[in-house]
Amino acid sequence: MGKIKLLFVLPTLNIGGAEKVTVNIINSLDVKIFDIHLIVIDNRYKNLETLINQNVNIKYLNIIKTRKAFLKLAKEILLLKPDIVFSSLNRTNILVLLINIIYRSFKVIIREPSMPSVQVRNGYMSSKMKFIIKLLYPFAERVIAQTEYMKRDIEMAYKIDAKKVIVASNPIDKVYIQKSICTEKNPFEEYRARINCVYVGRLSDEKNPLFLIEAFNKVIKEDKKFHLYIIGDGYLKEDVLITIKALRIEKNITMLGFKDNPYPYIKYADMVLLCSKWEGMPNVVIESMFLNTPVVSTLSTLALSDLVVHGQTGYLVKKYNIDDFSKAVLDFDQLECKFTDFEMFDFNKFFTSIKNL
């Protein structure tokens, strides 16, 4: 029996949650069982390319707009003749499903990166987009949700048969993370007298970095030992810098920009902070739990309750409440810090079972 031919489709290899999850899924697969291919629509950003298993065949379509990639993507898929096609973002999900409806030559697995109700509520999904998704998603062989909360939300929003929606938590590359920590020294070695907090993520509206700065300002007023390290870039960077300067807290906040290897910062931090307005399943929280680092986060999605045990491995606070968030940060030393290992979803068994359906 030959290998199962798997094709993954991504709009870009830029740093992003869905892109990183897809790369982690690819790297978790057994190349003795699977012939793995990856098609990337836009070739301008290749940040994640070096992380991908060398046995994976990568093809760039060199198209900037995903919606204009239909014909070229269809041609590549028909030439490749995959058994299964996997996609993890709304735009590529729609393209792959349309191609399959026309040609019916492969099975489609799609992963939904966010809760539909949250996307609609925050204006990130138009009624037109929701209608198209509702029309097409039932044609997928399986739809992957990251938690039970997301599964129910997807079923209700898109009217999909519950049997088609499965729960699979985001995988992390444990071996890669451990190696990344071993190659670097503790970045806080010289600052042990501080209480070191870390934020990892884009500086964009949905990540709510200005809220974080305002809340941290309250923390500093109570205890000047706290120091915040911000890892990441984005279009709100200038606004963040202006706010830090206006509040005169430059001595307590360090802007580190994008880091290829944020894991030593996560590992050795006293806590990781997250203040998103909405999320799917934030990878940085999964990685923090794996590295036994407490998390203080806004309750941007109920799915976080599946990861963070409130009062034990972190605190989950109401969105937009600066007082509650700053108090949770100040109370970090009251956490029990009892971490438990979590089982990873077995994508090898999953894809093999799909081929055999």
Domain residue limits, the chain:
4-169+344-355, 175-334
Check residue 1 and give its pLDDT.
63
β-strands 226-231, 253-257: how paired? parallel
Q: How far is CA 276 from CA 97, 219, 280, 352, in A?
A: 30, 18, 10, 36
Check residue 272 and give its pLDDT.
98
Token pair 């992963």 is found at 111
Q: Which CATH architecture has domain 175-334?
A: 3-Layer(aba) Sandwich (3.40)
Q: Which helix (H) or strand (E) holds 99?
A: helix 90-103
Q: Which CATH architecture has domain 4-169+344-355?
A: 3-Layer(aba) Sandwich (3.40)
Quickly list DSSP for 178-224: HHHHHTS--TTGGGTTSEEEEEES--SGGG-HHHHHHHHHHHHHH-T
Output 184-190 pairs: Cβ under 8 A, ≥24 positions apart.
184/261, 184/263, 184/264, 185/264, 186/264, 186/268, 187/229, 187/264, 187/265, 187/268, 188/268, 188/269
Q: Is 19 exposed, middle or buried (0-12, 13-18, 19+ CB in 10 A)?
A: buried
Quickly list DSSP for 61-75: ---S-GGG-HHHHHH
Tokens of 274: 């997250």
Half-sphere exposure of 128 (CA within 13 A, CB side): 1
Q: Is 323 exposed, middle or buried (0-12, 13-18, 19+ CB in 10 A)?
A: exposed
What's the angle, vertex CA 199, arms to CA 261 and CA 329, rounded to 5? 140
Contact 110, 97 (CB under 8 A): yes
pTM above 0.75, yes or no: yes
- Provide Rg for the chain, Cα atoms: 21
Q: Is 130 exposed, middle or buried (0-12, 13-18, 19+ CB in 10 A)?
A: middle
What is the pLDDT tens value at each position of the chain, 357 positions in all? 689 999 999 999 987 788 989 999 999 999 999 999 999 999 888 888 988 989 999 999 999 999 899 999 999 999 999 999 999 999 999 999 999 999 888 999 999 988 888 788 777 788 888 899 999 999 999 999 988 888 999 999 999 999 999 999 888 888 889 999 998 899 999 988 999 999 999 999 989 999 999 999 999 999 999 999 999 999 999 999 999 999 999 999 999 999 989 999 999 999 999 999 887 778 899 999 999 999 999 988 777 887 898 999 999 998 779 999 999 999 999 998 888 776 778 899 999 998 876
Contact 154, 337 (CB under 8 A): no
SS3 347: helix
Check residue 149 and give its pLDDT.
84
Contact 74, 99 (CB under 8 A): yes
Contact 151, 167 (CB under 8 A): yes
Token pair 């109700």 is found at 117
Beta bridge partners of residue 231, listed in sequence order:
200, 257
Check residue 33 and give its pLDDT.
95
